[in-house]
Each structure stands twice: as structure tokens, then as C-alpha cells.
Amino acid sequence: MRMSRHFGHTLREFPTEADTPSHALLLRGGFVDQLMAGVYSFLPLGNRVRLKIERIVREEMDRAGGQEVRLPALQPIELWEQSGRKAGMGDVLFQLRDRKERGLALGPTHEEVVTRLFKDHAQSYRDMPVTLYQIQTKFRDEARPRGGLVRVREFTMKDAYSFDLDDDGLDESYRAMFQAYRRIFARCGVPTLPVEADSGAIGGKGSQEFIFLTEHGEDTIVFCDACDYAANTEKAEFVRPPAVEGDPLAIEEVETPGITAIGDLTTFLGVEARQTAKAVFFMATPGQGAPFPIFAVVRGDLEANEVKLAAALGGAEMRAMTDAEVEAHGLVAGYASPIGAPEGVRVVADLSIPRSPNLVAGANREGWHLRNVNYERDWSAATVADIATAQAGHECARCGGALGLGRGIEMGHVFRLQQVYTAAMDVTVQGADGEAVRPTMGCYGLGVERVMSAAVESHHDEAGIAWPASIAPYDVIMVGIGLDRDEEARQDADALYEELQAAGLEVLFDDRDERPGVKFNDADLIGVPVRLTVSSRNHKAGVVEVKVRKGNAEAETVARAEVIAHVQAHRERLLSALNVDDVERLARNRPAERTDA
């Protein structure tokens, strides 16, 4: 492409709406344009990057045995009612009506559609296992779009779905996808870490997220500094700090006027936070059925984790109780006690509670607490589970190392769905023995634009983007200088432009009538991996200057006849650096971005 004909301009100043480097650079370089909150147009440069990422995703999906399909974005609402997710998705689901007033939805994901497709076309065990995938636009009416391309309302997602006869088969399909994901992120130059994750509203058991670590991330990740355990904080296991041991003592009431927070309580009574029990109230809404009140109890040195709590209750939707609800359920804010919790309120205790004797807890009476409350002797919970959040400094459950926290963005997520959807939509195939078998599913999502964003986030400098060679909009950029004053040099530049393309390279030729500084700066900003400088001066010397964008090494002077081989050698070297080992090492070795938030 000749830049004089290229659509889209760079901006000299940073647009103010962007607050992350990736968003700012993509806007400034003319890759994307915002149409409204969470909705972007892709200009030619951005679109080329998107297509490159999609190509890598396709290659790896195909290599892993996936078959590409195309599923509709426009879907009948009944499908969502059938799976029971219409309510669970809530306002995130874009809904509309056709001219006949039929309810429709724009697909936020495609489990329902693909399960239906499978049901219509797979009849026996001979049709399995099978993994279907697609690269499609998804629509989600996010409560708050943010972070440029990170959380948007319309985006490109690769989603894959595996169908197996049993869980061993599912494990195999899952592993194949897991490996494909590692290869995809490595090839795209995006350092990601697989972490244990909650499976959330999508359902199923066992899932991992591929996390790109960045301070701008919206997820909190827990890492072990000794072993390779890493998990989303929504899921992370940890060893509770030890309790203050002692034989159970007699309960006593103690007056604590105006003392409702743990911090005040410990000061007032002269005890440690881990010698107290903290009560937090939630309303839980199960997939089917009415909301019910939850009385969650964690030790005072820990924080209750809503997502873990929801998981412990079988995937109910959780929200904090309003003050009115607290009162209506007979709970005394600040002084609630698990002993004699009101009728109908479900008590859920964290693992830390049963093993910690003589805790201070509320007395269910304004202005009073109880000392020496002991689990089992004095009260018990309907459920005891891991419902507390791991914090920096906690002990790793696997190896005893110290846990640290970091921020990250989810690039992809792989789930073992099992039979959640095949059961909801009553899918069976005929087994070898003639009996009906309920297939077990996996699903595997990946955000294309998020990968693009993360690639910029991890490959840029003060001058602009330095794209990984695999997904750069062009392989090489030719900067022409003074060509309009030297006809011979111009003809040679045109010839080189043709030769590079004939050699299979994607070339951007800056033939604009601009000053050299403008062209060099634009080349740095756009971030094409290899830059050639062709000028009157170089032409007379029979050379071309070659500069690699990444690392900003000095330009080399290369004989005109050897330029193409030289460019290809650089390209191959850059591509070979994008392997799983090297890129994952980068992901693991970024202490600067592990914040103890």
C-alpha cells in the first residue's frame, strides 16, 4: 500500500479520552475510531491487525482439530429461556423484536446455538468427539464499557465448543484447546498466564483463564512466589493464617457501645482481628427460584468473597443486602450473631471459622458482643466452604510459599461445561450399545481485540507501537526521502516496492510529500517491524538502510541487491522469538506489574 493512498491519519497529540497506552496508541496511530461507548470502527491498519490475529487463531484451532462454523448473531429469545440463562444474563443480553413482535437477542455467546446445532446434526457416538469453532461478533450490553478495546459492547470473539461422550474425552479436548491457546498467545506475542478461575454464570466445573498481566487490568490474580500456582482471586485457594489456639472458654456478653467495625472491636477489646468473627449479609438468587438471605461468616482478619460464596451455593447470583433487607430479616447490623440467626436466613461459614476457638461475635443486640464463641459447641452453619479472599502474604495451599497479588485482563477462558447445556436442551446421541448418551461439553473463548490491545500494551515505547512481527499490519515499511527530486532513485524505490511484494512481503510505502521527520515519526508510531529508508543519497551509494523497530537498534546499511534477503532474515528471526517458552517466560517474569493492591 502506498501511504499517499492509505485511508486514515495519525494524530500528533494523544486523544484525551484514552487513559491506557494501548488505547491511546491505537487511536493516535489511526487503527481504530470510537463510534460510541464500547463500540469501535477498525480503520485499514487496525483491521489488518485484527485479521492477522484471526488467521493465527484459525491456524491453531484447525491444528487442534477444530472445525470452523458460522453461527447466527441474531437468535430467538426462546433459546435463552430454554437454557435458563435469559435471567442470568440479565441486562447484558441485547434484546429486540422483529416486525412480528417476536423476541430476539443479539448473541453475547453461543453455547445455546451451538448445542442446538449439535442436537440437530449429531446422532450417534460415531459423530464424536467434535470441536466446532467460530470467529464472530458478540454483543453484550456491558454496564460500563472501559479501557479502550478491553471491555466493549460489540467485539470479535473466537468461541469453540467440544462435544465428547464422557469426561475423559472432555479432558482430552480441553487439553488440546489449552495447548492451542498457549500457542496462539505466544504467536501473537502476548505474554499470558493460565490461572485457575471461577466458571461463573456460564456454568460447569473447572476452568482456566489466560491472563495478560497489566496494572490496567480489571481482574485480580493471586500468584505463589515459590511454585507456579496462579489463580483468579475469585477462585484462589490459600492457607488461613493460624488461629489463636486455646481450650473453649465460657461464653460471656460484653458491652461494646457504638463498636461495629472489626478494627474498632479489636482495639476496644484488645484482641486480634483473627480472634473475631465477621458477619456479611447477601441476597442470593438461584437460577430458578426466589431470592434468599445469606448470613456469611468469615474470621475478622479475612474478607468475604462474593464469587466464592456464589459458587458454594451452586451458582446463585449474589448481591449485598440493603439496609432495609437487613432489618426485615431480623439482623442487627454491626452486632449480628450466628448464634440464633433468624429463621430462614442461611448461614454460610468460611473454612477459617470451625478451626478458630473463642471468637468474638455479635450478640444480636445493639451495643453488645459475645466473647468465646465456639463453632459446633455454640452454633453451626448450613454450609462451611472456602468463601474468603486470598490476600498478599497468605500462604500457598499447594506449597506453602507466599502469595502475591497482581492485576490482569482476561484474554481467553477455557471451561469444562460438562452437561449443563446438553441437559438443559435435552441432547442425547446413541451410544455403541444402543443406549442414549448425554454428551459432555467444553467451551473455549478468546477475545480478538483484547489480544490486539494487550499486544500494544506489551510492545510499545515512547515513540509508538512496536508490533510483534506476526500481527503487524505490514511486514515492512519503506520510507522514501527526496524521491521527488531524483527520478532515478524514485524508479528504483518503485522497483523495490514491487520486488518486496513479489517476495511475499506486505509492504507499506511512504511515498507522501512530507518532511522526513514526519515520515520517521509516523513509521515509529504505526510500529511496522522493519523499516527501510530509500533516498537519493542511498540510491547513489547503491544501498538501502534497514532498521528494526523493536529495540530501536541503529539502522544498518545494506547493499541494494541484498535488501530482500535481509528483510526476510529479520522477519524470520522476529517470528521465531514468538514461541511458547520465550513468551511465557516473559509472562512469569514481570515483578514490576505485581502490585500488592
Residues contributing to the site for RNA (CB under 7 A):
9-17, 19, 34, 36-38, 92, 109, 138, 140, 142-148, 151, 155, 157, 159, 199-202, 218-219, 306-307, 317-320, 413, 415, 445, 447, 463, 481-482, 484-485, 514-518, 520-525, 533, 535-538, 545, 547, 555
Helix or strand (DSSP H, E) at 138:
strand 130-139
244 touches 277 (CB < 8 A): no
| Angle, CA 144 vertex, CA 143 and CA 146 arms, to 5° | 150
Closest to RNA by CB, 262 or 463: 463
In the complex, what is the shortest distance from the CB of residue 556 to RNA, in angstroms, rounded to a whole number? 11
Least Å distance, CB 30 to RNA, is 10
- Work out how close the CB of 1 gets to RNA at its nearest, in angstroms, rounded to a whole number: 17
Cell of 584: 511465557
Q: Which helix (H) or strand (E) holds 347?
A: strand 346-350
Closest distance of CB 394 from RNA, Å: 20
- C-beta of 85 vs 394, nearer to RNA: 85
By beta-carbon proximity to RNA, the closer residue of 420 and 469 is 420
Beta carbon of residue 515, minimum distance to RNA (angstroms, whole number): 4
Q: CA angle at residue 57 from 51 to 63, to 5 degrees?
A: 135
Contact 388, 302 (CB under 8 A): yes
User: Given the complex with RNA, which of 118 and 375 has the nearer CB atom?
Assistant: 118
* Alpha carbons 415 and 287: distance in angstroms, whole number: 19
In angstroms, rounded to a whole number, what is the distance separating the alpha carbons of residues 465 and 526? 6
Residue whose CB is less far from RNA, 210 or 335: 210
| Residue 108: CB minimum distance to RNA, A | 7
* Residues 6+ positions from 596 with CB-CB distance below 8 Å: 392, 404, 405
Minimum distance between the CB of residue 582 and RNA, rounded to whole angstroms?
A: 27
Closer to RNA by Cβ: residue 12 or 377: 12
What CA–CA distances, in Å, run from 506 to 2, 166, 478, 513, 564? Answer: 11, 46, 11, 22, 12
Query: At closest approach, how far in Å is the CB of 14 from RNA?
Result: 7
- Looking at the Cβ atoms of 256 and 538, the one nearer to RNA is 538
Cα separation, 184 vs 470, in Å, equals: 11
Shortest reach from residue 227's CB to RNA, in Å: 26
Which neighbouring-strand residues pair with 207? 197, 415
If the CB atoms of residues 161 and 375 are measured against RNA, the closer one turns out to be 161
CA pair distance 513, 523, nearest whole angstrom: 15
Q: For RNA, which is the closer residue by CB, 82 or 521?
A: 521
Q: How far apart are CA 208 and CA 232, in angstroms?
A: 9
Residue closer to RNA (CB basis): 382 or 518? 518
Q: Which helix (H) or strand (E) is 420 found in, with range?
A: helix 420-424
Residue 293: CB minimum distance to RNA, A: 16
Q: By the 8 A CB rule, do 457 and 149 touch?
A: no
Distance, in Å, from the CA atom of 467 to the CA atom of 149, rounded to the nearest integer, reads 17
Q: Give the number of residues written for the chain.
A: 597
The Cα-based distances of 355 to 244, 271, 394, 469 in angstroms read 10, 17, 17, 55
Indicate the residue among 48 and 547 with the shorter CB distance to RNA: 547
Query: With contact defined as beta carbons under 8 Å apart, do 85 and 119 qualify?
Result: no
Q: How far is residue 378 from each of residues 169, 270, 536, measured CA to CA in Å?
A: 47, 23, 90
Q: Report, in Å, the least distance between residue 440 CB and RNA.
A: 17
